[in-house]
Structure 1
Amino acid sequence: MSFIGSIGSFIMQPLYYAISVVLVGFHTVFGKLFGEASGAAWALSIVGLTIVIRAALIPLFVKQIKASRNMQLLQPQVKELQKKYGHDREKLAQETMALYKDAGTNPFASCMPILLQMPIFLALFRLLDHAAKRGDGRGILSDEKATQFAHSELFGVQISKTFIGADGDTGVMIMAAFFVLAMLVTTFTTQRQLMTKNMPESAMTGPYAQQQKMLLYVLPVVFAVGGVAFPIGVLIYWTVSNLWTMGQQFYVIRRNPAPGTPAFKAKQQRDQRKGIAPSADPSAATATEEAPPTHQRVQPKRQSKSQRKKNTGPNKNNP
């Protein structure tokens, strides 16, 4: 067990240093404004750390949105494959993955920002947890700073405390419950925003839609159950991260919605009110291209009286 723990500690050391550098850097600034030992300085330092991390993950978030959008648009084709190869699971899986490959998307790409955040989240949790329980620093966070964090208070509540470790302290329980609830609501709202605003009707049924609906209700519950064991400082990080995600997703959906979605129609209406030519809906264009062409009767060219006589003259002379 100690050998495994040593390996884990070796892997986490770079993250401890990266997180502590940003955290201590912000604390140096906010400590001069609010006092080095104040909870406000440490809480704002955690907020600053969150913003830096999420700003660094913007390229991955853009890839996540594109991957999710492509997955939605491919759902009609996935359904056709399910009808065709529903009796052969292996063939269905092969054809589905080939479809994703040809479209340049990946069902796992939408999970990358969350997966990459988890080691950072774990490192922050252990960093703050060690500081709170033992007064031990990690990275460039000294033991003195760690002890200072452990005893710092925000509105009279130690931000190193947890809901289940409140020891009957009502203030700790109320603040921890507030951030757990905020974490739950922001997670649910972000996922629901994606489903109701940026999913076409064709994508609202099938396995992918069922997966999204399951995540809509499961993820908030998982975070809420786990959140009661997180220090308030970690809850601040996760809540701010969720708010960032919600705002960033709202901006992307509003500016670049997926075709055939309520958000796309809303953007067309906004463009019309501004006098901007609305963007064409590719789904509508596809339907137009597939529609059979209509043959119109060609009207005869108008001719003058002399031309008509000239054209009919030889016919009259024929016996």
Structure 2
Amino acid sequence: MESYFSFILYPVSAILWFWHKVFGTVLGPDNGFAWALSVFFLVFSLRVVLLKPALSQLRAGRRMAKFAPQIQKLREKYKNDRQRMAQEMQKLQSEHGVNPLGGCLPALLQIPVFLSLFHVLRNFTPTAQSNFIFDRAGVESFINADIFGAKLSNWISQPADQLALFGTDRTSMMIVGIPLMLTASVATFFTMRLSVKKQTDAAMANPQSAMMAKFMMYIAPVGAIISGWFLPIAVLLYWLANNFWTLGQQHFLTKKIDHEQEREKAKEIEAKKSAPRPKPGQKPVRAEAKSDEPGAEPAAATATDADQQVTKSSSNGQRPGGGRPGGKKNQPKNRPGKQAAAAKKGKKRR
């Protein structure tokens, strides 16, 4: 089984070995705090590698927030057709350059690392001659290391005879393990709470997603307390360091993305200000119809005919309205004699 996962187990043990050499030189190779710091910096080293995917995940979430209203419309439009809704959602996400699986990448990559660390720590046994990159001296150094009497490779619920084999007891394990469990649980709660708070409107618009996020916010801390009884002290240190890193990373990356969006808005405002504006009293110039566009030629022909009519009217001494140069049309004149004759005829008829 180990041969299939050697490509993960050996790098993880190598990083742990490197940091132990660094801190063991200062604090001593068998010092428990040197090993604890080695576990912490193992986490930090791996999380630095995952920093870029985490940043891409946050940027994708911000892009999704921009078209959240469109997602809501799709849900309302295709609420009775799940398959069509999924297709339209994928199409919309691809148009905006959002990969929904990209947000899961940082979390998925941490799973094999966590399992590899757990496997490496479990192999630190008194009878082991080596442990991947660690030789016998490295194995003995880890076994002899303790923090206030608690061995790093042991756990609280381990049988008493096995604890005695490592030179510790349950009381010492509980004195160190329980505070670590509680601290890891609190750190997990705040990490999940911050994650839910930073969820995009598109994600929280789905009632199922919102309910699951809030559910995990309370279940994950409880899981840290329950599993802490069965996890080695070194794994609890890993859990604690991972949550501390996540809290700091979310705070740092959120500020970075906020600054990026502020710069983008500032550029848009500057672009609008620098755009040419029409002079006072001048109408904005409209784009003329292109010759290859439908309807362009008839419009040009109509304009030409109108110009010809204006030219003919001008040559006849008339204006386009059909009148004389004075602007008045030919109207029949009313003479006084004709008006009197018409009045007499009207009297005779009466």
Name the TM-score, length of structure 1 as normaliser. 0.73
* Structure 1 residue 52: Cα displacement: 0.9
Contact 1:157-1:171 within 8 A present in 2 as well: yes
- Are residues 1:58 and 2:51 paired? yes
Whether the 8 Å CA contact 1:180–1:235 is kept in 2: the answer is: yes
Cα separation, 2, equivalents of 1:216 and 1:73: 25
Provide, for residues 37-70 of structure 1, a one-character-per-residue CA deviation record: whole Å limited to 9, x for no partner: 1111111111121111111111111122123333
Question: Which residue is 1:29 aligned to?
Answer: 22
Match of 1:205 in 2: 205
In the superposition, relative to structure 1, how do residues 225 and 97 fare at CA in structure 2: closer, same or farther (>3 Å)?
farther
Across the aligned residues of Structure 1 and Structure 2, the Cα RMSD in angstroms comes to 3.1
Equivalent in the alignment of 1:100:
93
Q: Partners in 1 of 2:203 and 2:112 — Cα distance?
A: 32
Asked whether the 8 Å contact 1:17–1:138 carries over to 2, the reply is no
User: Which secondary structure does the structure 1 equivalent of 2:124 belong to?
Assistant: helix
Question: Are 1:38 and 2:31 counterparts?
Answer: yes
What is the deviation of 1:256? 2.0
Does the 8 Å CA contact 1:31/1:37 hold for their aligned counterparts? yes
Q: After the TM superposition, which of the residue ranges 110-119 and 27-36 deviates more from structure 2? A: 27-36
Quote the residue 1:292 is aligned against.
Answer: none
AA paired with 2:48? A
Partner residue of 2:234? Answer: 233
- Whether the 8 Å CA contact 2:64–2:202 is kept in 1: the answer is no
Kept in 1, the 8 Å contact 2:24–2:30? The answer is: yes
- Give the unaligned 5+ runs of structure 1: 1-7, 269-276, 283-297, 299-316
Aligned-residue offset at 1:144: 2.9
Written as runs of structure 1 = structure 2, the 5 A alignment for 1:180-259 is 180-196=181-197, 198-199=198-199, 204-206=204-206, 207-257=208-258
Q: Measured at CA, do residues 27 and 152 of structure 1 come closer, stay the same or move farther in structure 2, by a change above 3 Å?
A: same
Report if the CA contact (8 A) 1:163-1:173 is conserved.
Answer: yes
Contact preservation (8 Å) 1:130, 1:136: no
Say which of 109, 133, 141 aligns to 2:134.
141
Q: Percent identity?
A: 31
- Supply the distance in 1 between the matched residues of 2:104 and 2:176 (Cα, whole angstroms): 30
Counterpart for residue 155 of structure 2:
162
Residues 32 and 147 in structure 2, CA contact (< 8 A), matched pair in contact too: yes
Question: How far apart are residue 200 of structure 1 and its match?
Answer: 5.9
Is it true that 1:78 corresponds to 2:109 in the alignment? no
- Structure 2 distance, partners of 1:112, 1:278, is 27
Kept in 1, the 8 Å contact 2:186–2:221? The answer is: yes
Q: Is residue 166–residue 173 contact of structure 1 (8 Å, CA) maintained in 2? A: no
- For structure 2, list consecutive stretches of 5 or more residues without a partner in the other structure: 161-168, 269-280, 282-326, 329-350
What residue number does 1:303 align with?
none
Runs of 4+ in 1 over 4 A off after TM superposition: 199-203, 277-280
- 3-state SS of paired residue (2:241): helix
Q: Distance in 1 between matches of 2:244 and 2:140?
A: 29
Aligned length, in residue pairs: 265
Residue of 112, 117, 138 corresponding to 1:124: 117
User: CA offsets per residue over residues 160-198 of structure 1, 9 Å max, x none?
Assistant: 1212227462221132222222222222212212333x3
Provide Cα deviations, 1:207-233, integer angstroms capped at 9, x if missing partner. Answer: 433332233223333343333221111
Alpha-carbon distance, 1:16 to partner: 2.0
CA distance in 2, matches of 1:90, 1:278: 36
Using the TM superposition, give the Cα deviation of residue 128 of structure 1 relative to its aligned residue in structure 2, in angstroms: 0.6
